[in-house]
Structure 1
Amino acid sequence: MLRMTPACPVYLAVGATDLRNNIDGLIVKIKYQFKLDPFTPAMFVFCNKARNKLKIVFWDKNGFWLYYRRLDSGTFHWPTKNDGNRTIAVTEQQLSWILDGLSMEQKAAHPEVLARKII
């Protein structure tokens, strides 16, 4: 079971990542390639070239979690380009859609209501 903290940022590594990397190798990518702090309470998600495997790195108080998911059939809808950026910040809902085999942009989903008013 993937455990997320409330309002936990999620960063997707755009394109393919060599998933032979272990936690330490992925942390180096987070720190030096993405210029992000791997010790922040955030999830960093990586996908292989075939788009059938994912790794998620997450710092939790005194150690790193490494979640690994391999599909027996099908692929993940994974972003390949993002205007030169190496990561995309997504919501927990968008990550759930990706894990369920859906695109992270669901046109039929209810949009967020930004107007806060009481009738």
Structure 2
Amino acid sequence: MFYPESQVRVWLYNRPTDMRKSYDGLSALVRNKLEEDPLSGQLFVFINRKQTQCKVLYFDRSGYCIWSKRLEQGQFHAHAGEAHKKRLEWTDLKLILEGIDTRSVQQYKRYKHQQSGYTTEA
């Protein structure tokens, strides 16, 4: 399923995860460790100790889905610091999945349209 980039939230779990976990195990991690609702439709990213495997758990309208990726060479470069979870932008997730180290990427401030609370009348 395609997600609109601006509407989906992405959370990175910053602890090594056993990649043998599937739907129930990962949703339990979301509920207990990340303290988020796994049924919310948000994306939850898990990476193993060697940083060679990644799983993304989300819930669509009919059930849980898991995206999984295993690298043949290299590692995923996700740096969340000391926190158990880190909020990622959709772009950050795409960079991590492509193998780009997000610490070396320089991000510039962009204009973001603020929604106003008024309407214009003719």
- With the length of structure 1 as denominator, give the TM-score of the two structures: 0.84
Instruction: Give the number of equivalent residue pairs.
Output: 112
Corresponding residue of 2:97? 99
Deviations along 1:39-70, one digit per CA (max 9) or x if unpaired, are 11210000001101000001000101111100
- Paired letter, 1:68: S
Q: Distance in 2 between matches of 1:48 and 1:42?
A: 20
Corresponding residue of 2:61? 61
Conserved 8 A contact 1:27-1:38: yes
Shift of residue 33 of structure 1?
A: 1.3
Shift of residue 18 of structure 1?
A: 1.0
- Paired letter, 2:17: T
Structure 1 or 2, whichever has the larger Rg, is: 2
Is 1:52 matched with 2:13? no
Q: Which runs of 5+ in 2 are unaligned?
A: 115-122
Corresponding residue of 1:22? 22
Q: Which runs of 5+ in 1 are unaligned?
A: none
- Paired letter, 2:87: A
Give every structure 1 segment of 4 or more consecutive aligned residues whose post-TM-superposition deviation is greater than 4 Å. Answer: none
Q: Distance in 1 between matches of 2:54 and 2:25?
A: 15
